[in-house]
Amino acid sequence: MSEFDITGRILLPYLRDLGIDPSEITFEDSFSIRLGRNKHATGRSDMLIKRHGRNLFVIEVKADSKQLTDADRDQGISYARLLDEIAPFTIVSNGISTKIYDSITKEELSGNISEKSAYCRNGYLLSSDEDLKLRYEALKNFIAMSSENLRLFCEMQVNDRMGMIIGDSDSRYAKFIKKLYIQRKDLAETFKVFTNSTDSVFGLVGVAGAGKTNTMCALALQKLGDSFVFFYNCAIITSPVECIAQDLNIAFSNRTEKDIALKKLDELGRYAGKNVLIFIDAVDESTNPNIAQELSEIALIAKDADKIKVIVSCKSNVWSTVLKIKNKPTQLYKEVNSFHNYNGSLENPGYHLTEFTDEELTAILPLYQREFGFKGDISNELLPELRNGFFLKIFCEVYTGKQIPQKISDRELIAKYLKQTLEETDIRYEAGTRTLAAIGNLLMDHTYTHTEIHNDDGIDVNYIVERLNYALDQEIPEDLFTRNILIRSNNEDSYNVSFYYSKIRDYIICFQIHKLDKKSDDEFNDLLTYFYKNHIGKSAIDFYVDNACQTHKSTLAKFKKDKCLSYLAAYNSYLDENFSTFKEKFTPYTSGEIGIILPEDLVKGDGYAFFPVSEQSSDKVVYLDLRNPFDGPYDSNPFFETGATSYNMSNILLLVKNQETMVKQVIYKQLREIVGKESIATLSPETLLLEKLSAIVYYHHKRLNYDYKINDFYMPRYQQIYPIDLLDLKERIKMFKIREHHKYQNITKQQLEEIIERTITENLPIPAYRTKGNVPPIEGLTKIVDMLIEKGYGQIDSHYLPEPDLSIQETKEIYQQKRLENSRTKRTIQFSESQAKKYTKSFFRHLESCYKEFVEYNFPTLKESFEFYNSMPHEYIVYLHDADILKWGNIGYRRSQTDEFGLYYKGFEETENAFTQHGIICLRHFSMERLLKIEESYRYNVQVFEGISASELEENCVLRGWIYKMLESDIDHIIKMHEN
C-alpha cells in the first residue's frame, strides 16, 4: 500500500477508535513548524494530532514496502520538536509495523504512553536549556533531510534578517531592489575564487552609495541554492554571534561561551555537506562599541572551522578601525589579508567596490528608467554624476515619471529629494531640515584629530543630543537614519552620527545654514576662513562652487591665492630666521628663495608644491595642472622643471586662519624627520670633527697610503694612528683623488705617479671624488681637514677620549673565559674599572660641551626652548648594578647644584629615589657598551655623510649619536609645545 492508502485505511480509523475528532487532525502542508527566531515554515510530516487544543502526536507514514528505520524515527521526532509547542509523541508507521516514540527522549513506548512521558506529566514544560537543545538537534536533522529543507531554512533566515532593506521601488526604506541589480563581473569572479578557496573571510569595502548592501544582498540570495546562508545587517543588530544563536535555537548562559554558536554552525555545515556563508553587512553602522573585537573572534573561529566563510561589508573610511584595535591588526585583518591583496586606496587589504564603470552604468540605466519611468535620454554631461549608486537613486526618485534635464544641479536635486523624502516621514520637512541644520553646524564647528579626519565618521551622538538640548528620553529622529540621510558608526563608548551622503551634508551647510547664495562678495570672503577650518567646510565649499555665481568664484580664487602666498612668505621667513644653517634640509631643499606651484584652476583645483627659485628667475608663483603632476617624461615634465620634487594633494592647511601655527607645525614635523635621520651637518663642535676624522683615518688608512700595523679586537685602538699631521693628510687626500680619477684609464703605474707629482707641484686643480655607496667619505674628510687647519690645528697628537687600558692579549683571554656572556660586552671588557670611570666622565663632559656648541650654532633663536641645553651644566648619577661600572645600571642627570659639571656613582637600589630625592630630570639605561658603540638596532639606520654607507663610521661616532639622542628629546618637547 501507498502512504495515502495506509493513512486512509488504517490510521484514520485507528484514530477515530481512540476518540480523536476529525477537527483535531491536521494533514501535511497545513501546519507550521518553528525554524529559529520567530520563523515558521509549513510542516512536511504527514499528520499532526491535537487533543483539547494541544499538540499530541506527529505521525510519519511510510509505504508498506519500506522497513522502518532510525532515520524515519528521527525525521518524525524532528518535526515534533520544531512545533511551537513540542508534540510529546511521534508515531511512525508503514501499515505493517507502527511504533510510538517519546519525542523528548526518543524512547519507543508501549502500554499507557501518557504515564511514561515525563513531558506530559509536567504539563508540557521543559527547562530552557533542554528546550533549546532539543530544538537545535531537530533543526540540524531538518536541514540535513533534504536540500529543499536547507533552502527553505536559509531563505527564511535571509529574508527575515534583510527585513526592510529589500523591497521594490515603492518601499520607503529599501536599499536593495532585486530587479535593478546587475552583477559586477570582476566582483563575481573574485567572489567565486573566494568560495572555492580555503580562505575564511572576504572584505567588501567602498564609499557610501557604492552599492555594498546591494552586493551583499545579491550574493546572499544567489548562494541560497548551493550553500548554507546567513545574513545580518549590523545597522539594526548589536551582536552577529548572538543573532546566529537565536537563528539556531540556541542561547548563551553563564556556562556557554559565545563561540559555541559558530561551532554549532560549522557542525551544521558538515552535517549538511555545505559551505556556511555568513554575510555581515554594514559593520560601519554598528552601534556596538565592541564590534571590531567580536568580528576578530568570528574570524578566528572561521579560520579553524571546516565549512564557515564570512563576508563583511564596510565603508572605506571606517575599514581600518574595524580591522585594527588601537592600531594593532586583529585576527579579522589577518584573515582578510590572507585572501585579499593590500589595496593602496583602502590602505588595507580588501575588495574595493568602486562606483559604476561606464559599462555597468550603460547596463543599469535602462533598468532604472523602466522602473521609475523618467523621460528623456541621459546626456553625456549627466552620466558622470550618476556613477554613485545612492545619487542615482536620488535622481530616479526625484524625476519619477518626469522629464530629466540635460545637466543636473546638485543643489536643486538634493533640495527636491529632501523635500520629497522628509514629507513622507513623521517629522516632516520643516522639523527635519532644522534638525539636519543643527547637526551640520555641529560638524562644522567640531575640532577634529587627524584620525577623525581620515575616518570621517561624524561626531559622538551624546555630544549632538546634549548640544541640541534634547530631553533625557529624546533621541535623533529614527526616520533620518532609516531614510539614509544620517548614518551611525560605532566608537569605543557609544556611536557617531554623520551624513550618509556628503553632498546632502554640504547642501545643508551651504544653503540651509549659511545661505551662501544670498551673501555679498565681501560677506562670502569673510566666511571663507571659517569654512576652511576643517575638511567638512572645505567639502561644503567644493560643493558650493558648482552652484556659485561668477563673482563668488572670483572671490574664492583671490582668497586662495592670497592665503597661499601669505603662507609661503611665513614658511620661507621662519626657515630663514630659525634654521638658516641647514635650511636646505627642508622642503623644497634649497638654502635660497622658495616659490609655490598652485593649481591652474584655483576655484576647483587643489594641491600645492614648493620649489627652489633659481637665480635666473624671480617668479615665485607657477600655475600648473596638479591633478597628475608626475605624468609625462621626466625631462619635459613642467612640474619637475621647476625643481619641485614632491607635492601636497590638498592646500587646505594653507587656507586656515592661524597660518603661523600651521607653518610651525609643518616645519617642526620636518625637523623631527631631519633629526631622526641625523642629517644636520655636525661641523661646529671641534670634538665632533676630531671624532669623524679619527674614525675615517683608522678604517681607511690603507686607501690613504698609511703604513699602520693595526691590531685590535672588535673596537678601534686609536693610539695606533697618532700623531696625525693634517698637512700631510691633506696631501694624501689629494693623491687619493688623483689616483681614483685616473683609476680606469689605460696608463702605467709610472705614468700615474708622474701625473700625481705634476698635479701637486704645479698646483693643478684636484678632481673631486663624488662616488657614493660603500666607499671612503673622502669629500667629507677634505672638508674636516680644511676646517681644522683653519681653526689652527697642525698636528693631532692623541685621541680626545681615554683609550682601553687592557692589552689585546688580556682582552682575548677574558673574552674566552665567558664567550656567550662577553659577546654582548666585547668593547667593555677591554677596560679596567678605573679606566672605564675615567672614560665615562670624559665622555659626558665632552657631550655637554659639544651639545651646547651644536645647539648654539644650529638653533640660535630656539635654544631657550631646548630642555637639555637650558638645564646645563649637569650632574650625572650612575646607578650601578653590583657597584660595577663594567656591568649595567641606569644613568640620570639633573641641573648642577654647584654650577659645575659632575659625575657620581650610587648603588642600583637607589634608582627608586632618583626623581623624588636626587632631583633627576631624565633616567636612561646605562652600560659602557652604549658609550663605546652606537648600535644600529638602537639608533636609526643613518649616514654620517649623505650617500656614503659606512657602518664602521656610523657606529664609532658615538658622541655624534648621543648628541642626536638628546636632540630628539628636546625637539619632541618643542613639537608637543607647538601642537598644544
Query: Per residue in 648-697, pLDDT tens?
Result: 999 998 999 889 989 998 999 999 989 888 888 877 789 999 999 999 99
**Contacts of 318 by beta carbon, 8 Å cutoff, 6+ apart:** 283, 284, 455, 457, 489
With a cut of 60, say whether residue 279 has pLDDT above it. yes
Residue 312 has, within 13 A of its CA and on its CB side, a CA count of 32
With a cut of 60, say whether residue 324 has pLDDT above it. yes
* The most confident of 384-388, 544-548, 944-948, by mean pLDDT: 544-548
Which band of pLDDT confidence, cut at 50, 70 and 90, is reported for residue 37?
very low
Over residues 772-787, mean pLDDT? 93
Over residues 323-333, mean pLDDT? 91
Position 972 scores a pLDDT of 87
Strand order in the sheet with 902-907: 902-907, 874-880, 888-895, 922-927
Cell numbers representing residue 817 in the block: 673565559
Least confident of 490-494, 552-556, 579-583: 490-494
Cell numbers representing residue 977 in the block: 609645545
With a cut of 90, say whether residue 266 has pLDDT above it. no
Position 258 scores a pLDDT of 56
pLDDT higher at 105 or 64: 105
Position 937 scores a pLDDT of 42
Share of the chain above pLDDT 90, in %: 53
830-865 per-residue burial string, b: 16 or more CB within 10 A, e: under 16: bbeeebbbebbbebbebbbbbbbbbbebbbeebeee
CB-based burial of residue 360 (10 Å sphere; 0-12 exposed, 13-18 middle, 19+ buried)? middle
With a cut of 80, say whether residue 130 has pLDDT above it. no
pLDDT higher at 289 or 429: 429
Position 330 scores a pLDDT of 95
Over residues 226-242, mean pLDDT? 89
Over residues 810-826, mean pLDDT? 93
Q: How far apart are the first and last CA of the chain?
A: 90
Q: How many other β-carbons are positioned within 10 Å of the β-carbon of residue 1?
A: 15
Cell numbers representing residue 212 in the block: 555594498
Which band of pLDDT confidence, cut at 50, 70 and 90, is reported for residue 10?
low
Share of the chain above pLDDT 70, in %: 92
Which residues make beta-bridge pairs with 623? 598
**pLDDT tens profile 430-443:** 999 999 999 999 99
Cell numbers representing residue 543 in the block: 560643493
Least confident of 152-161, 718-727, 794-803: 152-161
Position 590 scores a pLDDT of 95
Over residues 953-980, mean pLDDT? 87
pLDDT higher at 150 or 749: 749
Q: Which helix (H) or strand (E) segment is 434 a member of?
A: helix 428-445
DSSP state of 801: S
Which band of pLDDT confidence, cut at 50, 70 and 90, is reported for residue 48?
confident
Question: What 3 state SS string does 157-177 have?
Answer: HHHHHHHHHECCCCCCCCCEC
* The most confident of 84-98, 674-688, 880-894, by mean pLDDT: 880-894
**Cα-flanking dihedrals φ and ψ of residue 114, to 5°?**
-65, -35
Quick check: 507 and 417 in contact, CB under 8 A?
Answer: no
Angle at 17 between CA 14 and CA 23, to 5 degrees: 85
Which residues make beta-bridge pairs with 519? none
With a cut of 50, say whether residue 837 has pLDDT above it. yes
Position 18 scores a pLDDT of 63
Whole-prediction pTM value?
A: 0.71
Over residues 469-475, mean pLDDT? 86
**pLDDT tens profile 896-935:** 999 999 999 999 999 999 999 999 999 999 999 999 998 7
- On average, the pLDDT of the chain sits at 88
Position 585 scores a pLDDT of 94
Chain centroid to CA 229 = 30
Domains (ranges, CATH) in the chain?
3-144 (3.90.1570.30), 148-354 (3.40.50.300), 409-518 (1.10.10), 555-676 (no CATH), 822-979 (no CATH)
With a cut of 60, say whether residue 156 has pLDDT above it. yes
Which band of pLDDT confidence, cut at 50, 70 and 90, is reported for residue 9?
low
Position 894 scores a pLDDT of 96
Position 251 scores a pLDDT of 42
Report the C-alpha gap between 443 and 281 in whole angstroms: 26
